[in-house]
Structure 1
């Protein structure tokens, strides 16, 4: 009964609206189109309310499936990881090759990004420590011995030693001539020199614009084959380093400050420090993991002498100097 009354009121309202539209000059066909258009508007407006419960149920199902998958992955992560690694082995190289091609436009826009191509580690962790490290190779060493006729070392040789090389003395003037002869190569391949462990300068700042009374510490890093070939012409491979296995990464250290500084860690653990000009006292400090079992060792590194050590157990520190001579050294490593 109530529904019939509502429908009757609705019909009367439509008749009144039709009469008013007719009085306003609207034809019956125009009223009909306007009426059905209004019904479509009401249908569209009411549809979200009808679908709201269905959408809620769909979202709940998706969330529930996601939780189940997450729990399954956590409980079986080792099996899933092993399966993925085994199945993706064949696609690693093609994938990296594709990624390299995709990155070519980005490299073309920002060429400086290629400086990081040869870096094995962009950021070092100063708090890294090896748990339960075996320190017996350094615990039995009490001094740094001098070798008269060194031979290429094996990977079992962990005890540090020094010997006099046949290296020609390379002072600042000789270093400058080497740079000027190969300026294009150095400026392109190794354009940055770490100065005083604070900021980077250019080779031009070191060899051309450097003040006469400069008191600074420079670390010039090289990590590519083109520069390695240039350095090999003036700094031949030391006879203690095997013919194959020398790292491409090298350092040239120039110290005019006569202050204490640390020798940078190399890519390979078997390292050497070659005095190209001047002399300094070197303190081999045991690694943090072995400082309770191994001794700190000291040696005077004379001009053209080479210090062979394993930075896995010792970290070389160059001590203060009372002299006025510039200390120039070459740092390399062997794997």
Structure 2
């Protein structure tokens, strides 16, 4: 066998030598012949060698295509079964999973503050027709009043009944808000420069303070949803003792009301929410969610300065009512997941 290979190789070399001699006689240079020779080898290699690979690739692509068609067909014909299985088995892991992701992301947000805008994302328009089908309303059906707690402890996930208590919080009026802003002006103007006025337009902090000094009657909702602004806000408003050490939402609100009119408290990111009065007093009514109006009743409480109202936003929607006095209300709103 080796002898035959040597003969074939020898014959091939003789043929190439003969071809080279004929090309040189016709006027080709040796360099041109080499280029022509290597091009012919490359052409032969492309024609013969990939044939098996192309066939294998064809059969592989065809196999994947058939498998894809089969999978899509199975999904289409069993859509309801698959959807029900996914919803039933994964729904209880959604909030724990998001909570774990939130804790993991905090160190990265601290290192890269510019990523904070992706940490909290809200809908531009809420769906007014959204309702929960067959919502379980037993947590609010047995609640008849809002009790006052003397020495509250950090709440658990089962603490659904609303309550109030007197917090260890220094009152904050307009002058305190102004000092807070001037001290942290660089951070606030960069990250939270918009304040919603009368639920109609946005105002700057300087514009809000100017209007307050003039005595204008407005409602200001100042939203804080970045890590840096939440950190500076915590320097003047500490974490409530009912909120566990981990789990407080980055989203916070400062509400300044000089109109003495009723308004709805903003929805919070987490379902467990609190409203802390920093200045003034107001009557707070907790209206049951639309899904639970047939089982739960409205609650009302007179919230004084430095008092905190804890409630579950999933079952109650708070509404601020005007009080007898003509004192500007300053409130802080936060939530816990």
The verdict on a shared fold, with TM-score over 0.5 as the criterion, is yes
Cα distance in 2 between the residues matched to 1:158 and 1:118? 25
Residue correspondence of structure 1 range 1-335 to structure 2 within 5 A: 72=73, 74-75=76-77, 118-210=120-212, 212-335=214-337
Cα distance in 1 between the residues matched to 2:186 and 2:124? 25
- Asked whether the equivalents of residues 116 and 122 of structure 1 are also in contact (C-alpha less than 8 Å), the reply is no
- Asked whether the equivalents of residues 116 and 226 of structure 2 are also in contact (C-alpha less than 8 Å), the reply is no
- Asked whether the equivalents of residues 193 and 218 of structure 1 are also in contact (C-alpha less than 8 Å), the reply is yes
* SS in structure 1 at match of 2:277: strand
Cα distance in 2 between the residues matched to 1:330 and 1:116? 24
- When residues 114 and 155 of structure 1 are mapped into structure 2, their CA distance, relative to the original with a 3 A threshold, is closer
- Asked whether the equivalents of residues 258 and 323 of structure 1 are also in contact (C-alpha less than 8 Å), the reply is no
Root-mean-square deviation over aligned CA pairs: 2.7
- Asked whether the equivalents of residues 251 and 268 of structure 2 are also in contact (C-alpha less than 8 Å), the reply is yes
**1:296 shift after superposition:** 0.4
- When residues 80 and 263 of structure 1 are mapped into structure 2, their CA distance, relative to the original with a 3 A threshold, is closer
Cα distance in 2 between the residues matched to 1:215 and 1:115? 32
**1:117 shift after superposition:** 5.7
1:96-139 deviations in whole A, cap 9, x for unaligned? xxxxxxxxxxxxxxxx9985762143332121110100000000
Counterpart in the other structure of 2:31? none
- When residues 237 and 114 of structure 1 are mapped into structure 2, their CA distance, relative to the original with a 3 A threshold, is closer
1:243-289 deviations in whole A, cap 9, x for unaligned? 11100000000000000001011000000000000000000000000
TM-score, normalised to structure 2's length? 0.66
Unmatched segments (≥5 aa) in structure 2? 1-68, 86-113
TM-score, normalised to structure 1's length? 0.67
Counterpart in the other structure of 1:59? none
Cα distance in 2 between the residues matched to 1:117 and 1:156? 27
Cα distance in 2 between the residues matched to 1:174 and 1:295? 37
1:126-167 deviations in whole A, cap 9, x for unaligned? 211101000000000000000000000101000000000110
1:217-262 deviations in whole A, cap 9, x for unaligned? 0100011110011011100001111111100000000000000001
Cα distance in 2 between the residues matched to 1:80 and 1:270? 32
Size of the aligned set, in residue pairs, is 241
- Asked whether the equivalents of residues 117 and 226 of structure 2 are also in contact (C-alpha less than 8 Å), the reply is no
Unmatched segments (≥5 aa) in structure 1? 1-67, 83-111
* SS in structure 2 at match of 1:234: coil
- Asked whether the equivalents of residues 263 and 316 of structure 1 are also in contact (C-alpha less than 8 Å), the reply is yes
Cα distance in 2 between the residues matched to 1:116 and 1:279? 36
Larger radius of gyration: 1
- Asked whether the equivalents of residues 271 and 332 of structure 1 are also in contact (C-alpha less than 8 Å), the reply is yes
Cα distance in 2 between the residues matched to 1:137 and 1:210? 41
- Asked whether the equivalents of residues 259 and 321 of structure 1 are also in contact (C-alpha less than 8 Å), the reply is no
- When residues 271 and 233 of structure 1 are mapped into structure 2, their CA distance, relative to the original with a 3 A threshold, is same
